[in-house]
Amino acid sequence: MQLYEDDICQVTRTIWSTMLGWEIRRTPLDEAAIASLKERTLSGCVQITGAWEGDVALHCSDSLARKIAALTFGIETDEATLAHARDALGEMANMTGGNVKSLLPAPSSLSLPAVVEGTDYSMRIPVGRLLAQIAFECQGERVLLRLVERDS
């Protein structure tokens, strides 16, 4: 579990710094981290199937997703639409899933990313066993990463 978390943090830092040039920092998974996700959030999820089965999900505020979109699309933040935000966060989840997959038993395949909107992330209960739940801070906002192993 600890091994997973350290490796997942490393993968996450690499993805965010390489694609966005942003530092993403691990923070304690405290009430504040959970509370920040009770507002308008977007969740990007990918499924892994094969030798290991489960989901990798990235949750962040709508505003952070739009900042990511603005940077990747080369537009102003206030020009970034929900469609831009969904595309950009979906791809961040895809990259996260692909790189996390390489830490897990092979062979397995990755689904296309799905992005869902929600207003209270903490109410959503994952189906399966929560292997890792890691809170990060980036650009003054919270990001939550969850790795859930599906029950077999």
Partner 1 sequence: MRAIVIDDSEAIRRILRNMMTAIGFEVIEAKNGRDALDRLATIGCVDVALVDWNMPDLNGYEFVVAVRADPTLNGMRLMMVTSETELQSVAAALNAGADEYVMKPFTKDVILEKLALLGIGQS
**Beta strand pairing status for 54-61 and 141-149?**
antiparallel
101/146 with CB nearer partner 1: 101
* 29 or 71: CB nearest partner 1: 71
Q: Between residues 73 and 126, which has the closer beta carbon with respect to partner 1?
A: 73
What minimum distance in Å lies between the beta carbon of 45 and partner 1? Answer: 13
| CB-CB contact of 136 with 37 (8 Å) | no
CA distances from 124 to 12, 52, 107, 116, 118 (A): 23, 22, 29, 12, 9
Q: Cβ of residue 77: shortest distance to partner 1, in angstroms?
A: 14
Distance in Å from the first CA to the final CA of the chain: 19
Residues that bind partner 1 (CB under 8 A): 14-15, 18-19, 69, 72-74, 84, 87-88, 90-91, 94-95, 97-99, 101-102, 106-108, 110-112
Nearer to partner 1 (CB atom), residue 87 or residue 134: 87
Minimum distance, C-beta of residue 109 to partner 1, in the bound complex (Å): 8
